[in-house]
Structures are given as C-alpha cells and as structure tokens.
A and B are shown apart, each in its own frame.
Chain A
C-alpha cells in the first residue's frame, strides 16, 4: 500500500518501440529484443549510458545480462524478472520512484507464432509439454487433455455464461470491435478488414465455448519501453506518459488460467484488488478515464475486467460492449484501440505501448483528449495495471 502511494506522479514512460508483428519473424527472440530496446532508448532521448535498470517478464526467454551485452548497457543497478502480465513495468516504475535506479528499460520478445511458445495454439500441445510455466498442469490437467490456456479459459468462460445466463454471441461485440481497431492499425498482421458482429457470432467454436475469434493469435514480435523520473522526463523529446498509479495484485487459490478451486471461477478477484488500488492511489474516478487497454488474450476476459474494474455489474460486461458503441473511439470507454491482443497478437507490453500512444496522440485510432488512460494486464493470473496521464 505504501509503495503505490509513493509512486504517484513520480515517474513517466518516455520511450517506446515495437518490432514488426508477424507470423514468422525469421529472427531470434534475442535479436528482436536487442532491436526494440535500442529503438526505445533512442525514442526516449536518453543516452545508453543513462540506462541503469532492466526489467522483463519471467516468461520471456532473454536474460537481462545477455540483453545488456548486446545493446551496450554498461552498468545496471536494478534488474527484475517479474511475475506475469506487465508487472515487470510496475517493478521498474517502483525502482525509479524509490531511487534504486534512474532509468529503466522493459522488454518482451516472443516468437509466439513460429515457435508456438506459451501460446493459445491448441494444435501445439507437444510444444506446450515442453513449457514449464505452470507445473500443476502436468500433474492434474495434461492427463485429461487439458493442455492449453484456451482450454482452461474455456472452462471459466462456460461457467460464466451459465451463471449469468448469457451466451457467446452476447460477447461477440468484443472481437468485432477489436477487429475494427486492428484493421485501422497498420501493425496488425491479422486483420486487413474488420469482422462484423455476425461473422464473429457465427464463427465456429475452437475450444467450445470459445471461438477462434475469442482467442488472441500467437505472434512473433517484441516491444520495449523506457521509464524515467517525472523530473527527467521534462527535458526529453516526447510528451511523457506520467504514471499516476501502478499496482499489482494476486489472490488466493490462484493459477494461470486454472484457478478452479476458487469459490467463484467467473471473476478475477486480483483484478478488482488491483483496480481499486489504482483508482485509490490516483484519486480519479472511473469516468475520468478517456481510453483503456484491457487484457484480451481471450475475449470474455474483457467482460470480466469491465466488471472487476468497476465499469459495470457482474455479468453485464457483454452488455456493456453491445453494438460496440461504448468501446469504439467515440464512446464512453474506447477500449483496446490498437485491436488489443485479439488484433495485434498476444504480446504483453504492446498494451502499455498503445496507452502511451494515446497519451502522446499518435494512436492509429486516436481518442480526442486522451489525457488519462487505464491499462490492465494479467487477466487470469497475477494482475497489474497503470493509470497514465498527460
């Protein structure tokens, strides 16, 4: 609690970079990581000598020391392999706010499509066997063929539909609007034109009740961003995205997508905890938020996040998105304006970068007066989030 209070307005995201997003990068994750870190530092206007902190997600394969070795970061005084989602960014923000280091670079680099690493690809079960993100899977889930995050998520989705008396077509505006944003986003490798609500609603199930359009595609790509102090950010070339609040949360009986022994598997209790803390620290209202980036690795998670983050009642997340009106660019809560993971592919960090674009005014679907942007990551696992302002 004390930590997040001291974080308020102390830091800013000042540099961002993304690689090409593709189905097959033809390059190593190491090469992609080095490229985006270099580009993000250049974008920030800081010199390479000034970078003294390096953070990444635990599921990212490239060790910070190797990254440092490639990019030419001489000495670092903070390095962190954080939990899931984009909590590494929260760690970096915390380190700068606490004065442990001055300028942190965050990166994530994943050949998710060509290597099928950590993916939703239900056809890649063999590769999933080699992956050790969640050891419980091998003891209790693999013997029954529950081999993918999509299958685990589908179990939670089915119970959600049952409990609230909705069906997947009630949630089909979520992938439909994501495809609209993605079609407007030149980086998306997946949508040249939007899919209609009907096309989404009528598309066949992959892991019933989830359809292919409900599962973020695996992608090859990398992202990086640079965090510095709000003070230092004043002299840098781009308008800073000031971090009003940053928060993380976990909750009891948690597993990645398989928290099956919680009393209620239709919600995300850590997301509520995280969101309440964000708004408490920032001292702003839900309605003050001009755009949001939610974790849409699976479409129904958007509905759950709307509920847990206080935008609607439990079970009403699909209704909130009905006809897409509220979540399009001119709606009350423009949501995942780059197309989200559904539109760009599953790559944590890309969601935070889109929030920075909105603050800078450079999104492919720019929202007017986007002076406060909410980010939530880690739906279905440890949650984290940010409130960024101009």
Chain B
C-alpha cells in the first residue's frame, strides 16, 4: 500500500505505535475521514491529549472520541530557517494550536506566510491530502 513511500523524502507518516499509544490509531483514522477526534475520559470528561490508555485524573480506562470543532488559536509557533527534512522546504513553520476545547496539537499552517503568523491568531482546521494514501490535518487563518 505504501510501497512508494520514502521516509527520507516524503512527509513522515505517523508511526501509530499500537503498543505504546494504542489510542493514536482512532485519531489518525478520524483524520483520514476528515474529522479531528479528541480522546476524552468517559468517566470524568478530562481531555486526554496526546492519547493514552488511562485517565490520569481518575484512572479510568474508559474513553470516548469526540469530534473537535477544529477551531482554535495559535498558542505558539516556530520557523525552521533550514529545511528540517526534504519534505519541508525552508522557511518551514510549525504551529502549536490550542483548540477551543482546550487540548493543544502540533500542526502546520496553510494560507499564510511565516512572517505573518502571530500568537493568539484564530485558526481553523483543514484536511490536506499529503499523498494518495495519507491525509494530514493542518490549520488556516479563521474566516
């Protein structure tokens, strides 16, 4: 399926380590279907980002996946002045988005030049086909 994927050249795929972060599978399955799903404790409603097998608030192992509105703000950002990888030509900005539900996700921005990004800026999720078999979630400035 991914025989043409070259990790030294193409956008690195999420590892989806089922052993350690069993719950990251549903997250990326959600992204593939155009949904940003957040893991939440079914017992005490604490957000579990990044995903994990147990709630640190109540030790429950029951959780649910809740669709985020995809709206948030730029909590922080960083700009690589040298390409960190051939798939990310410089300047390449990485952004930390604080979703309106509260959890923060690392992502990247589309539709804005690095010099125009600002902390606090409103953004909303978009889904990008990075390859035939691979969808990424990114953010764009909110309308």
Interface residues, chain A, CB within 8 Å of chain B?
122-123, 125-126, 129, 135-136, 138-148, 151, 154-159, 162, 204-210, 252, 258, 260-261, 265
The residue in chain B whose Cβ has the minimal distance to the Cβ of A153 is B78
State A148–B77 Cα separation when bound (angstroms): 14
State A328–B82 Cα separation when bound (angstroms): 33
CB distance from A189 to the nearest CB of B (A): 22
* Contact B7–A151 (Cβ < 8 Å): no
- 30 inter-chain pairs at a CB distance below 8 angstroms, sorted by A residue, are A125-B84, A126-B85, A129-B12, A135-B20, A138-B14, A139-B16, A139-B21, A139-B24, A139-B50, A140-B14, A140-B50, A142-B14, A143-B13, A144-B94, A145-B80, A145-B84, A146-B106, A147-B84, A147-B85, A151-B80, A151-B94, A158-B77, A159-B96, A204-B81, A208-B80, A208-B81, A258-B106, A260-B104, A265-B75, A265-B76
CB distance from A118 to the nearest CB of B (A): 16
> Which B residues lie within 8 Å of A151 (CB)?
78, 80, 84, 94
State A141–B94 Cα separation when bound (angstroms): 9
Q: 8 Å CB contacts to A: which residues of B11-27?
A: 11-17, 20-21, 24
* Contact B50–A142 (Cβ < 8 Å): no
Given contacts A140-B14, A145-B87, A146-B106, contact A122 B56 (CB under 8 A): no
CB distance from A163 to the nearest CB of B (A): 9
Q: 8 Å CB contacts to A: which residues of B53-95?
A: 56, 75-85, 87-88, 91-92, 94
> Which B residues lie within 8 Å of A147 (CB)?
12, 84-85
The residue in chain B whose Cβ has the minimal distance to the Cβ of A252 is B56
> Which B residues lie within 8 Å of A141 (CB)?
106
Given contacts A135-B17, A145-B87, A162-B76, contact A261 B82 (CB under 8 A): no
Q: Told that A139-B24, A144-B94, A258-B106 touch, could you supply 13 new A-B pairs with CB distance under 8 A?
A: A123-B82, A139-B17, A142-B12, A143-B11, A143-B136, A145-B85, A146-B106, A147-B12, A158-B77, A206-B81, A208-B80, A208-B114, A261-B104
> Which B residues lie within 8 Å of A158 (CB)?
76-78, 119
* Contact A207–B49 (Cβ < 8 Å): no
* Contact A159–B119 (Cβ < 8 Å): yes
State A129–B21 Cα separation when bound (angstroms): 18
**CB < 8 Å: which of A155, A252, A261 contacts B77?**
A155
State the main secondary structure of chain B at its contact with A: loop
> Which A residues lie within 8 Å of B56 (CB)?
252
State A305–B13 Cα separation when bound (angstroms): 35
> Which A residues lie within 8 Å of B75 (CB)?
159, 260, 265
CB distance from A267 to the nearest CB of B (A): 14
* Contact B15–A144 (Cβ < 8 Å): no
* Contact B21–A207 (Cβ < 8 Å): no
The residue in chain B whose Cβ has the minimal distance to the Cβ of A210 is B78
Given contacts A139-B50, A140-B105, contact A155 B76 (CB under 8 A): yes
State A210–B50 Cα separation when bound (angstroms): 26
Among B8, B81, B136, the most chain A Cβ lie within 10 Å of the Cβ of B81
State A144–B120 Cα separation when bound (angstroms): 20
The residue in chain B whose Cβ has the minimal distance to the Cβ of A258 is B106
State A135–B17 Cα separation when bound (angstroms): 8
> Which A residues lie within 8 Å of B138 (CB)?
144
> Which B residues lie within 8 Å of A207 (CB)?
78-81
* Contact A139–B85 (Cβ < 8 Å): no
> Which B residues lie within 8 Å of A205 (CB)?
79, 81
* Contact B17–A138 (Cβ < 8 Å): yes
State A344–B92 Cα separation when bound (angstroms): 29
* Contact A159–B76 (Cβ < 8 Å): yes
